[in-house]
Structure 1
Amino acid sequence: MYVYDRHDRQMAVERVAQFRDQTRRALDGELTEDEFLPLRLQNGLYIQRHAPMLRICIPYGMLRSAQLRRLARITRDYDKSYAHFTTRQNVQLNWPALESVPDILAELAEVEMHANQTSGNCIRNTTTDQFAGVQADEVTDPRPYCEIIRQWSTFHPEFAYLPRKFKVAVNASEKTDRAAIRVHDIGLQIVRNQAGELGFRVHVGGGLGRTPMVAPVIREFLPELDLLTYLEAILRTYNRYGRRDNKFKARIKILVKALTPEGFAEKVEAEWAHIKDSPSRLTPEAIARIQAHFTEPDYADLDNATELLARQRFEQRDFDLWLRHNVDVHKKPGYAIVSLTLKKTGTPPGDVTDQQLEQIADLADEYSFGEARVTHHQNVVLADVRQDRLLELWQQLGPMGFGTANLNTLTDIICCPGGDFCALANAKSIPIADAIQQRFDDLDFLYDLGNINLNISGCMNACGHHHVGSIGVLGVDKKGQEFYQVSLGGSSQHDASIGKILGPSFAGAEMPDVISKIVDVYVNTRTEEESFVDTYRRIGIQPFKERVYA
């Protein structure tokens, strides 16, 4: 993974000193709240329902074991001994004291971490597939391009105060899209053209929130070296024409829809014509320099590991089930990709204690070359595990709370913190997730259902990505009472779609029964090997509506 150079380290130290002074001035009354607001936001600091919330950046989800241990210590010393992984591959602290935040940022800088641009109307953390660099079907490793975008976008003066926040995602797999690029402001799919040249298919104008949209393609093939100048042309076009008079209409998706994808693309191309050959254009040498940080670890020759694994899984059914659901194929023979689920029943999705952070660090050191990855599904990945050590690893995961073999099932719920913490939320999310997990706590039944994404958001900001869940749940306010609206048929894959609202909302106590009825319709009408979304697209929403509201 990328390691800071002297420029990065200097920037981090100076940023901490700057924010320490800004915080002191705010606490002393020298800065008004309105003056302090943009300063704290671009350092990741929110004021939430009960306390400040600090969002810490994890570029493209990558963490070294030393960084995990530092996060553990910070949550123990400055918070309430737990943290929360988000759908942006970041981590949040929910209870830091305002006066302690500069000290936290200083501690983070010591291990090459920061909270820069995790909030505010700027370019946020660039995300990618949590299997990047180790999956067999990717066109190339997308992480170097994420790092290039990170370096270009961090503190970019022209894009520090955009009309609204701005999110970029990169995907390189031809078969699947674990980065959800089509619901981002800019989504980049790495491709090769007919001549075999590397480049990007560019999607612009996706997003969730109040007005969910799937991003259209505005350029089928962008040459690799033109990445930054074309991104700059997109941002310049948005900066010039984006709505600043109404924050609900300020996202780039609204502009793309207003101009039409074709009209927006024309403006971008016209802007790009002026800057495409500027000094910002990438060079092969610049790309190679960043790629050099993402070399393969020292893999061993493990040709016999598969035979041992086959015997072990035959002898232990529970181990075999875990392998089927939480372990994926690695590009290197004898290795595997392991997902640690943070979705044990009774635990808020994405929450992790200081002790668990240290355990993940130990596991990363012991089994995965000292690295771990955070997923936008709020789980953690060990990307380079020897197959002949999978049984040994699995035996440790259960007591730690990471061994639940429910990845991609109904109880692998994406869930925002909701009304328990967030000042914007209309309703609580975590109790609904817990009630649904309690209802569907039978793994055999979950396996029979197959892959179903259930996503929960506490408000229309959609931090829980409810719009693209197979089943989506949105918290709404009805005259001061918490209710929940259900949508069906969403997808964040290459065939991305926005879920359709089922009908009137439900009280929280009804939600397990509602989900049960939806599942019943699916089970009774699906064909063999048909997923939930496939069945929904075939039969439509009416059978679900009739059953739920009968």
Structure 2
Amino acid sequence: MYYYNDFDASFVAERNRQFRAQVERRIDGSLTEDEFKPLRLMNGLYLQLHAYMLRVAIPYGSLDPAKLRQLAYLAERFDKGYGHFTTRTNIQYNWPQLRDVPEMLDALAEVEMHAIQTSGNTIRNVTSDHFAGAAADEIEDPRPVAELIRQWSTDHPEFQFLPRKFKIAVIASDTDRAVMKSHDVGLRIVERDGVRGFEVWIGGGMGRTPMVAKRLRDFLPRADLLPYLEAILATYNRIGRRDNKYKARIKITVHENGLDEIRAQVEDEFPRRRAVFGGEDQALLAEITAAFAAPAFKNTDPAPYFAARDADPVFRAWSDTNVTAHRTPGYGIVTISLKAHGATPGDASGDQMRLVADLGETYGHGDIRATHAQNLVLPHVPLADIPAVHAALKTLGLATGNIGLASDIIACPGMDYCALATARSIPVAQGIATRLEELKIEHEVGHLQIKISGCINACGHHHVGHIGILGLDRAGVENYQITLGGDASETTAIGSRTGPGFAYDEIVPAVERLIFAYLDLREGEEETFLEVYNRVGMAPFKSALYDAEARAYAAE
């Protein structure tokens, strides 16, 4: 992975020094909260319902053991013993004291981490495939490109005050594991006639107006990436709306102006941008790529892994869901669920983070990933060592075998923490997962993505959930709308609303009815929930939700 050079280290240190002075001025009253707000947001510090919240960047989800151990230290020293992994592969601390934040940032700098551009109307944390460098289906590791974009975009003077926040994702396979088409700009590394470049997608996003990105360019030569991104951002900066923050994202700019007009303006701007690039970016990309060289994989006998699967049905069930094929024979990709039944999705304690760091160091070539689905990954584990990894995970409640199943729920913090939320998300996720565990049907149900947001901003990605849940305030009462048919994969789709919402105490039974309706409707155990929905449509699921007879039957 990429490690800081002298410039990176000095840049972060200077930013931390500046922010320390700003915090001191806020504490002594020299700055009001309104004056302090834009300064703290530039450094990832929010003011939530109960306390400040610090959002730490995990660029493209990549961690090493030292970084994860430091995150554990921060959780125990400055928070309540845990951190919350988010859908942008960041980690949030919900309870820091303002006076402690500069010390937290200095501690992050010790392991080459920071909180810069995790907030504000700028280019946010670049995301990528959490299986990057390990996936059997990628044409190359996309993380060097993501790192190039991170370096180019950090403190870019032209793009610090965009109309709204701007999110970029980079993938390198036909399979989309980064929800690329929900980003302001999505990049897919492709090969055309033996030459590699990029498909460029623009205008995706969730929030109150969800949209799937549109293809702006079929093929962009590799050397043109940064000037083309500058052309996109310059166009957006020039014509994006600033009169209404709800209409300021680039998806609205594309929608209101039309894709052809946006393409024309970008292509007009592009030659001017390209003319000022002298190839230094490509030399830098070559240096970055060298930092992402594959580990020295070991040639080990995988027999212990298969013997453990034969001998232990619990291990077999866990490995069925949590272990993915690696591009290197004899290796597996291990996904560690942060979704134990009844737990808060995405939360990890200090002890749990240290355990994962130890496992990554001992068995995983020192490589650890955070995922947009709020889990952790050891991308390079010899198959022979996976039984030992599983045994260690069990000691701290991290061996839940539910990746891709119904209790692997994405959920935002909701009204338990967020000042913008209008309903609770965490208790709903906990209630659904607990009920699934009681029914013991998850493995029978199979692949099912449930996603929950506590407000219209959609941080829980509910729009692209097979079952999406949106919590709203209706005259002071929590009300939960359900959408069906969303898709977060390469066939991205926005879910459709089923009808009237459900009260807080009705939402878990409603989800249960949907699941049992699916089991009744499917034609064979291999047909997934989304496949059934796409085949039969909304009507039978709507009937299961709202018909009095169906509700009475489900209650028996």
Q: Which TM-score tier does this pair reach, normalised by the shorter chain?
A: over 0.9
User: Deviation per CA, 1:90-111, whole angstroms, max 9, x where unpaired?
Assistant: 0000000111111110111111
> Does the 8 Å CA contact 1:84/1:351 hold for their aligned counterparts?
yes
**Paired residue secondary structure (1:482):** strand
Distance 1:284 1:40 in 2: 34
**Paired residue secondary structure (2:441):** helix
Distance 1:510 1:444 in 2: 20
**What is aligned with 2:535?**
538
**Paired residue secondary structure (1:92):** strand
User: Deviation per CA, 1:180-223, whole angstroms, max 9, x where unpaired?
Assistant: 00000001111111x11111110100000010000000101011
**What is aligned with 2:461?**
465
Specify whether residues 51 and 274 from structure 1 end up closer, same or farther in structure 2 by C-alpha distance, changes over 3 A only: same
Distance 2:28 2:307 in 1: 67
Distance 2:528 2:446 in 1: 7
- AA paired with 1:32? T
- Asked if residue 81 in structure 1 is aligned to residue 81 in structure 2, the reply is yes
Distance 1:347 1:49 in 2: 21
User: Deviation per CA, 1:455-479, whole angstroms, max 9, x where unpaired?
Assistant: 0010011110000000001110011
Specify whether residues 275 and 118 from structure 1 end up closer, same or farther in structure 2 by C-alpha distance, changes over 3 A only: same
Q: 1:474 aligns with which of 460, 470, 477?
A: 470
**What is aligned with 2:492?**
496
Distance 1:206 1:38 in 2: 26
Distance 2:384 2:307 in 1: 11
- Asked if residue 346 in structure 1 is aligned to residue 345 in structure 2, the reply is no
Distance 2:336 2:170 in 1: 23
Deviation at 1:283? 5.3
**What is aligned with 2:188?**
189
Distance 2:241 2:33 in 1: 25
**What is aligned with 2:144?**
144
Map 1:155-194 → 2, pairs under 5 A: 155-174=155-174, 176-193=175-192
> Does the 8 Å CA contact 1:227/1:282 hold for their aligned counterparts?
no
Distance 1:241 1:287 in 2: 31
Deviation at 1:88? 0.3
> Does the 8 Å CA contact 1:469/1:491 hold for their aligned counterparts?
yes
User: How many residue pairs get matched?
Assistant: 546
**What is aligned with 2:228?**
230
Q: 2:409 aligns with which of 413, 422, 428?
A: 413
**What is aligned with 2:378?**
382
**Paired residue secondary structure (2:188):** strand
**Paired residue secondary structure (1:337):** strand
Deviation at 1:447? 1.5
**Paired residue secondary structure (1:400):** coil
User: Deviation per CA, 1:318-364, whole angstroms, max 9, x where unpaired?
Assistant: 11111111000111111110001000012100001111111111111
Q: 2:295 aligns with which of 294, 297, 304?
A: 297
Map 1:12-411 → 2, pairs under 5 A: 12-174=12-174, 176-193=175-192, 195-279=193-277, 284-302=282-300, 304-305=301-302, 307-411=303-407
- AA paired with 1:486? I
Deviation at 1:74? 1.2
Deviation at 1:442? 5.6
Deviation at 1:30? 2.1
**Paired residue secondary structure (1:264):** helix
> Does the 8 Å CA contact 1:227/1:281 hold for their aligned counterparts?
no
Distance 1:282 1:444 in 2: 57
Deviation at 1:284? 4.4
**What is aligned with 2:553?**
none
- The alignment-based identity, stated in percent, is 49
Distance 2:381 2:109 in 1: 29
> Does the 8 Å CA contact 1:229/1:281 hold for their aligned counterparts?
no
Specify whether residues 443 and 109 from structure 1 end up closer, same or farther in structure 2 by C-alpha distance, changes over 3 A only: farther
Distance 1:534 1:280 in 2: 49
Deviation at 1:310? 2.2
**What is aligned with 2:551?**
none
Q: TM-score, normalised to structure 1's length?
A: 0.97
- AA paired with 1:181? M
Q: 2:503 aligns with which of 503, 507, 510?
A: 507
Q: What are structure 2's unaligned runs of at least 5 residues?
A: 548-556
Distance 1:53 1:240 in 2: 32
Deviation at 1:443? 8.4
Distance 1:428 1:399 in 2: 30
> Does the 8 Å CA contact 1:469/1:489 hold for their aligned counterparts?
yes
> Does the 8 Å CA contact 1:226/1:281 hold for their aligned counterparts?
no
Deviation at 1:248? 0.4
**Paired residue secondary structure (2:243):** coil
- Asked if residue 433 in structure 1 is aligned to residue 432 in structure 2, the reply is no
Distance 2:281 2:454 in 1: 44
Q: Which moved more, 1:439-448 or 1:358-367?
A: 439-448
Q: CA RMSD in A?
A: 1.2
**Paired residue secondary structure (2:187):** strand
Distance 2:451 2:336 in 1: 19
**Paired residue secondary structure (2:267):** helix
**Paired residue secondary structure (1:440):** helix
**Paired residue secondary structure (1:477):** strand
> Does the 8 Å CA contact 1:413/1:454 hold for their aligned counterparts?
yes
Deviation at 1:448? 1.6
- Asked if residue 547 in structure 1 is aligned to residue 516 in structure 2, the reply is no
- AA paired with 2:518? Y
- AA paired with 1:107? A
Distance 1:166 1:383 in 2: 28
Distance 2:445 2:275 in 1: 52
Distance 1:527 1:496 in 2: 24
**Paired residue secondary structure (2:162):** coil
Q: Which moved more, 1:71-80 or 1:409-418?
A: 71-80
> Does the 8 Å CA contact 1:226/1:282 hold for their aligned counterparts?
no
Q: TM-score, normalised to structure 2's length?
A: 0.96
Deviation at 1:286? 2.6
Deviation at 1:445? 1.8
Deviation at 1:134? 0.7
User: Deviation per CA, 1:1-38, whole angstroms, max 9, x where unpaired?
Assistant: 10000000000100000101111122222223222211
**Paired residue secondary structure (1:162):** coil
Distance 2:467 2:280 in 1: 42
Distance 2:408 2:400 in 1: 9
